[in-house]
């Protein structure tokens, strides 16, 4: 009974055996490098996640509008400091 399934009586010699062993150990990583990693499917987004994303987008839009209404660089700096102190207005 043999411990391996590799043909030791191959007429190509020890180097062919070494190449076969090398390829067998690296075959999954070689395929992954060639084809790229398997991209898992994104999980379905639930109702609460969509609501949270929508609320974050609205909050970001309101902040940008608040900062865009500044008249000069000094007022913009004051508004930035106000947002740092009180992030939700």
Q: What's the pLDDT tens digit per position in 47-79?
A: 899 999 999 999 999 999 999 999 999 999 999
Residues 61 and 79 occupy one common structural domain: yes
Same domain, 3 and 33: yes
Give this prediction's pTM.
0.47
Residues 1 and 31 both lie in one domain: yes
Residue 55 to residues 34, 50, 52, 61, 79, Cα–Cα distance (Å): 41, 9, 5, 10, 21
Residues 36 and 63 in one domain: no
Residue 7 reports pLDDT greater than 60: no
Helix (H) or strand (E) holding 44: none
Say if residue 53 is in the same domain as residue 33. no
Residue range(s) defining the domain that contains residue 32 = 1-40
Q: Identify whether residues 52 and 78 lie together within a single domain.
A: yes
Q: Total domain count for the chain?
A: 2
């Amino acid at each position: 009974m043999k411990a391996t399934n590799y043909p030791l009586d191959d007429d190509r010699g020890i180097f062919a055996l070494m190449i076969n062993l090398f390829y067998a150990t690296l075959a999954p990583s070689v395929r992954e490098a060639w084809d790229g990693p398997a991209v898992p499917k994104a999980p379905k987004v639930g109702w609460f996640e969509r609501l949270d994303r929508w609320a974050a987008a609205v909050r970001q839009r309101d902040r940008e509008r608040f900062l865009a209404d500044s008249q000069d660089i000094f007022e913009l700096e004051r508004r930035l400091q106000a947002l740092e102190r009180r992030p939700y207005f």
